Amino acid sequence: EESQTKINTRVQETIGKIGGTIESTESLGRKRLSYPIKKQNDGLYMLTNFEADSRSLKELNRVMNITEGLLRHLVVRRDEE
């Protein structure tokens, strides 16, 4: 959808601005939510793998929190392989 593309672009631009690099982005499709969030019963899931300095994640979280149309987000540290 158009709004998904705008949100994804904004997240990718923000990762670039904080000095991060995107490794991959994958659409996981539309899924039913466990419980309604902001009166929505389903949502489009995206997975973005990126590398960034942990000190710059505060800005990424701030932008994601104020991005209209983004219901939830989660940033998780991956273990080194």
Q: Which residue has the tokens 């949100």?
A: 7
Assess if residue 10 is contained within a domain: yes
Contact of 51 with 59, CB cutoff 8 Å:
no
Assess if residue 43 is contained within a domain: yes
pTM assigned to the model? 0.83
Assess if residue 6 is contained within a domain: yes
What CATH code is carried by the domain that includes residue 10?
3.30.70.60
Assess if residue 22 is contained within a domain: yes
How many angstroms separate the CA atoms of 59 and 61, rounded? Answer: 5
Could you tell me the two tokens for 61? 């979280």
Q: What is the pLDDT of residues 4-51, one digit of tens each?
A: 889 999 999 999 999 999 999 999 999 999 999 989 999 999 999 999
Neighbour tally for 7: CB within 10 Å: 19
In one-letter notation, the amino acid at residue 12 is Q
